[in-house]
């Protein structure tokens, strides 16, 4: 049991040293490319969803662009030439 706990702690420590999980890294990379205006629209879209109101066309476009960027980045990481393979 102790060895499992140590292995888990080591894994968690390595994840935090590398900047989180691959999903965290993908989101971070995508958000680095988002303008302040787009980030405001994404925040507004998230708030709209929480309130149950319909998204404005600008919020919808920002949310779709973000989702598309995450999907592209995820595909790039998982592709044979993607960054996932370069970490070895």
Whole-model pTM: value is: 0.64
C-alpha angle 76-77-79 in degrees, rounded to nearest 5 = 65
Question: What is the domain partition of the chain in residue ranges?
Answer: 21-86
Beta-carbon-side half-sphere exposure of residue 23 (alpha carbons within 13 Å): 1
Query: What's residue 66's pLDDT?
Result: 93
Query: Tens digit of pLDDT for each residue in 7-62?
Result: 777 766 665 666 566 888 888 889 888 888 999 999 999 999 999 999 999 999 99
More confident residue, 71 or 86: 71
Rounded Cα–Cα distance for residues 62 and 44 (Å): 10
b/e map 64-80, b = 16+ CB within 10 Å: eebeebbeebbeebeee
Do residues 26 and 73 touch, judged by C-beta distance below 8 A?
yes
- Provide the pLDDT for residue 44: 92
Which pLDDT band holds residue 88 (cuts at 50, 70, 90)?
very low
> Who wins on pLDDT, 83 or 25?
25
10 vs 2, 67, 70, 71, CA distance in Å? 12, 32, 28, 30
pLDDT value, residue 23: 84
């Amino acid at each position: 049991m102790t060895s499992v706990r140590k292995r888990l702690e080591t894994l968690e420590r390595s994840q935090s040293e590398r900047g989180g999980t691959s999903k965290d890294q993908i989101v971070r990379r995508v958000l680095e490319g988002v303008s302040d205006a787009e980030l405001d629209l994404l925040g507004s879209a998230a708030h709209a969803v929480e309130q149950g109101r319909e998204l404005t066309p600008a919020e919808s476009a920002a949310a779709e662009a973000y989702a598309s960027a995450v999907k592209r980045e995820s595909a790039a990481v998982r592709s044979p030439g993607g960054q996932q393979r370069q970490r070895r």
